[in-house]
Structure 1
Amino acid sequence: MGHSVRYGMLGCGMMGQEHLRNLALIEGANVVAITEPNKDMQQRCAALVPNARFFDTLDAMLAADMGLEALVIATPNYQHADQLLALFEQTALPILVEKPVVSRLDQVAQIRAAAANHPSPVWVAMEYRYMPPVVQFRKQLLDGDIGPLSMLAIREHRFPFLEKVDDWNRFNHKTGGTLVEKCCHFFDLMRLLTQSEVKRVYASTGQDCNHLDETYDGTMPDIIDNAYVVVDFEGGQRASLDLNMFAEGSRYQEELCAIGPKAKLECFVPGPGRFWPTETLGAAPIPKVVLSPRLPKGPIEANIPVDETLLGAGDHNGSTYYQHLGFFKAITQQAPVDVTIDDGLRAVVIGLAAQHSAQTGQAVTLTESGFSFERS
Structure 2
Amino acid sequence: MQQLESLTREAQNLAGASEHSVTWHKKGITENEAEVARQMQICNACRYCEGFCAVFPAMTRRLQFDNKADLNYLANLCHNCGACLHACQYAPPHEFMVNIPQAMAKVRLETYTDFAWPAALGSLYKRNGLTVALAMAFGLALFLVLALLSQGSLWHEPLAGNFYAVFPHNTLVVLFGSVFGFSILALLIGVVRFWREITPGQASGVAVGEAAHYALKLKYLDGGHGEGCNDEDDRFTLRRRRYHHLTFYGFMLCFASTSVATIYHYVFGWQAPYDYTSLPVILGTVGGIGLLIGPIGLLTLNLKRSPLHGDAAQKPMDRGFIALLFLTSLTGLALLIWRDTGAMALLLAIHLGVVMALFLTMPYGKFAHGFYRCAALLKSSIEKRMPNKLSLGSD
TM-score (norm 2): 0.24
Larger relative contact order (Cα-Cα within 8 Å, sequence gap ≥ 6):
2
Q: Which has the larger helix fraction?
A: 2
Structure having the higher Rg: 2
Q: Which has the larger strand fraction?
A: 1
TM-score (norm 1): 0.25
